[in-house]
Amino acid sequence: MSDATARLDVERVRKDFPVLATKANGKDLVFLDSAASAQKPNAVIDAIAEHQRTGYANIHRGVYQLSQRSTEAFEDARAKTARFLSAADPREIVFTRNATEAINLVAQTWGRSQLQPGDEILITEMEHHANIVPWQMLCEATGAVLRVAPIDDEGVLRSDAFGELLSSRTRLVAFTHVSNALGTINPARELTAQAHAHGAVVLIDGAQAVPHMAVDVCEIGCDFYVFTGHKLFGPSGVGVLYGKLALLEAMPPYQGGGDMIETVTFEKTTYAPVPHKFEAGTPDISGVIGLGAAIDYVTALGLDAIANHERELLEYATKRLAAVPGLTIIGKATHKAAVVSFVLDFAHPHDIGTILDQEGIALRTGHHCAQPIMEHFKVPATARASFSIYNTFEDVDRLVEAIEGVRELFT
Amino acid sequence: MQELRELYQTVILDHNKAPRNFGPLEDANREADGHNPLCGDRLTVYLRVDDEDRIADVRFEGAGCAISTASASLMTEHVKGQRLEEVAVDFDRFHELVTGPVNEAPNAEELGKLAVFAGVREFPMRVKCATLSWHTLQAAIGQTPETAKTE
C-alpha cells in the first residue's frame, strides 16, 4: 500500500545532482525534460567511476579475484533490479541496451517463434514508437496482424474498445504503463487480466513508470516488463527486460556470441541458461552497476515519497498552466504522471523551445516519438514539461513566466 | 534576449503571422512536399515555371514554426520572377547565411530581405526550420512537369 504521508526533501535531493548547480544561457538551469532522460545523481556517477577505477574486469570469465568481484557487482545489480520490480527470481532479469532493445528482443525471439499468419498483436494508440515499430516488423515477418486500441480526447485508453479488440486470435498485448507524451497512467493490472482471459501474453513498457511509482510485476501479473536505466537516473546504454522464467526459458536466444553459450562445436552449440542466453557479448558492465546504484538511490528516497512529490508538482503545474490564456493542455487523464504536454495558440512548440532555452529552461518540443498521438490530437508537435524528484514549485513559476515572455515576443 | 531578438526579428514575426503567397497555386506545373520529421513541420511548394525557365509564380502552404513559415513566405517573395539558375545561386547563399561560422559577419548583400535570417546561425537546432522551404523548392524545381501531374 502506498504511503500518502511520505515526503521528499527536495533541497537535499537537488544537492545530489551536480548539473542543477550549472547555468544554461546564463540562467539557473530548470530541467523539465526528465521524461526524455533524467539527470544523474552523484551516487550513480561515483558508482560508475569507482567501478572503472578499482573494480573493473570482464565478467563471467576470469578466475582471478578482480573478475570475480566485477561479476559479483554485476550480478548484485541484477538481484537489486529483481527486488526493485518485485520479481520472483533474479534470473527473470535480462540486461539489454535500453527499453527499445528489450521490446525488440521479445519480438524477435518469442514473437518469431510463436506467431502464425492471422494471429493478432494488440497495442494502444498512445504507444511510443519503440512499442509500435518492433511489432510492425514482427507482423511483416510472420503474417500476424497489428490491432490498435484507441484513446479518447482526454488521452485515456478506451477500455470498451480495448476489450472488444481482444479475441482468441490475440496472442500478444503490448501497452505502455505510462504515456511519455500524455502522462496517462494505464490500469496495468486490469488490462493484463483482460488480456490473460483471452490467453494473450502481455508486455508492458514501463520506461516512464519506474522513475515515478513502485512497480510490482507479480501484482500486475504481466509476462514481460521493460524499462531503461537512463530515465531512472542511471546511465544510458542499459535497459531491462523482465520476463516470467518459464517464458524466457522456452524462448530461443536473441543474438549469438560469447557469454550466451554452454558449449560450442562446429556441429552444435548449446545455450547458456537464462538470463545469460539473452546476453551475448560483453555487456555495459559499469553501466549495469550504475543502474544498480540508481535503484539504490530511488529506493532510499522512497517511491511513495517520490510519487507524492510529483503529484503535488503536477497539480500545481496543471493549475498554473491551465490559467495561461491561449494554452491548451494535451492529455487530461485523471490518473496521470507528472508530464504536462501543451500547445500555445500564439506560438509553435519549436519556437517555444528556443525561447524557453534562452531563459535556462530545458523542455522537450516535438512529437515525442509518438506521432500517432499527435495525429489524434491534430497537432504537429507539443511542448512537454516533465517533472521529476529534483523539480520545485519555483521551476513551475519560471516556466509560466517564460511562457509569458513568448507571448510578449509573439503577440 | 538580444540573440532572441536577432532570431525573431519583426520581419520574421510579421511573415509568420501573415505569410505571403500562402495557399495552393491553381495552375502550378511543379510542386513538392517538404517534411521535417524531427519537429513535424510540413509544407508544400507550388511553382509555375515558364518556357524561359523563369519562376512565373510560386506559392506554399503548410504548418510549421515561425522560422519555417517566415522563411517560406520570404522565399516566395524573393524567387518570384527569378530564373532557375539564379534560384540555385541564392539557395547556396541562403544556406551559407544560416549555417556560416558564428564568429564571422554574415554576407547577405545579394539576399535582400532574407538577411533577417542571419540570426539563425546562432541556433544550430533551427537551421532545418529555416532551410526546409528552400529544400522543398529545390525538389519542386527538379521535377519535370509530367511527374508533378501524376502526383
Residues A409, B13: C-beta atoms closer than 8 Å: yes
Q: For residue B149, is pLDDT > 90? A: no
Q: What is the distance of C-alpha A171 from the center of its chain?
A: 23
Whole-number pLDDT of residue B2: 73
Going by their DSSP bridges, the two strands A382-386 and A364-366 should be labelled as: antiparallel
Under 8 Å between Cβ of B136 and B32 = yes
Alpha helices in A85-187 (DSSP H): 99-106, 112-114, 133-142, 159-165
Tell me the residue length of chain A. Answer: 411
Length of chain B: 151
Amino acid at A57: A
Using a CB–CB cutoff of 8 Å, tell me whether B95 touches chain A: no
Q: What is the pLDDT of residue B143?
A: 75
Residue A382 Cα, gap to closest chain B Cα (Å): 9
Pairwise CB contact (< 8 Å): B3 & A358: yes
**Would you list the DSSP string of A281-348?**
S---HHHHHHHHHHHHHHHHH-HHHHHHHHHHHHHHHHHHHHTSTTEEEE---SSB-SEEEEEETTB-
Single-letter residue type at A247? L
B26-74 pLDDT tens trace: 999 999 999 987 777 889 999 999 999 999 999 999 989 999 999 999 9
Domains located in chain A, CATH noted: 10-31+302-405 (3.90.1150.10), 45-300 (3.40.640.10)
The rounded distance, in Å, linking the Cα atoms of A232 and A38 is 6
A18 φ, ψ to 5°? -60, -30
pLDDT of residue A258: 87
**Which residues, 6+ apart, have CB-to-CB distance to A274 below 8 Å?**
A91, A92, A94, A245, A248, A249
Please name the residue of chain A whose CA is at the shortest distance from the CA of residue B4.
Answer: A355
* β A361-362/A30-31 pair status: parallel
Contacts 24+ apart (CB under 8 A), A222-228: A222/A188, A222/A192, A223/A247, A224/A102, A224/A106, A224/A110, A225/A85, A225/A177, A226/A96, A226/A99, A226/A102, A226/A103, A226/A106, A227/A99, A227/A102, A228/A98, A228/A99, A228/A100
Q: How far is B40 from chain A (nearest CA, A)?
A: 5
The ipTM is 0.86
Residues of A with a catalytic annotation lie at: 369
Residue pLDDT tens, chain A, 411 long: 678 899 999 999 999 999 999 999 999 999 999 999 999 999 999 999 999 999 999 999 888 999 999 999 999 999 999 999 999 999 999 999 999 999 999 999 999 999 999 999 999 999 999 999 999 999 999 999 999 999 999 999 999 999 999 999 999 999 999 999 999 999 999 999 999 999 999 999 999 999 999 999 999 999 999 999 999 999 999 999 999 999 999 999 999 998 898 889 899 999 999 999 999 999 999 999 999 999 999 999 999 999 999 999 999 999 999 999 999 999 999 999 999 999 999 999 999 999 999 999 999 998 888 999 999 999 989 999 999 999 999 999 999 999 999 999 998
**Which residue among A350, A354, A358 places its CB closest to the CB of B1?**
A358
Q: Which residues of B99-131 are buried (b: 16+ CB within 10 A; e: fewer)?
A: eeeeeeebebeebeebbbbbbbbebeebbbbbb
A187-190's contacts with Cβ under 8 Å and 24+ in sequence apart are A187/A159, A187/A335, A188/A220, A188/A222, A189/A219, A189/A220, A189/A221, A190/A159
Q: What is the 8-class DSSP label of residue A60? A: S
Q: Which residues contact B127 (CB under 8 A, 6 or more apart)?
A: B98, B99, B120, B121
CATH class entry, domain B2-145? alpha beta
Q: Is A347 on the interface with B (CB under 8 A)?
A: yes
Nearest CA-CA partner of B111 in B78, B66, B70: B78
Q: How far apart are CA B95 and CA B101, in angstroms?
A: 12
Q: Considering only CA atoms, which of A131, A305, A300, A297 is closest in space to residue A213?
A: A305
Q: Tell me the Cα Rg of chain B.
A: 15
Q: Is residue A404 within 8 Å of residue A327, measured between CB atoms?
A: no
**Interface contacts (A, B; CB < 8 Å):** 49
Strand order in the sheet with A382-386: A327-330, A339-344, A382-386, A364-366
pLDDT band per the 50, 70, 90 thresholds, residue B102: confident
Q: Which of A226, A224, A210 is nearest to A100 (CA)?
A: A226
Q: Which of A366, A374, A409 lies closest to B38 in CB terms?
A: A366
Q: Which of A133, A341, A348 to mutate to test the interface with B (most CBs of B within 10 A)?
A: A348
**Residues of A with Cβ-Cβ distance to B38 under 8 angstroms:** 366
Q: Residue B150 has what pLDDT? A: 34
| Residues of A in Cβ contact (< 8 Å) with B122 | none
Partner-chain residue, chosen from A350, A355, A371, that has the shortest CB–CB distance to B4: A355
A349 to chain B: closest CA residue: B65
Q: How far is CA B119 from CA A15, A26, A201, A363, B103, in A?
A: 37, 19, 53, 22, 12
Residues in A 40-69 with any Cβ partner in B closer than 8 A: none
Show residues of chain A in contact with B64, CB under 8 Å: 348, 350, 380
The Cα–Cα gap between A200 and A23 comes to: 50
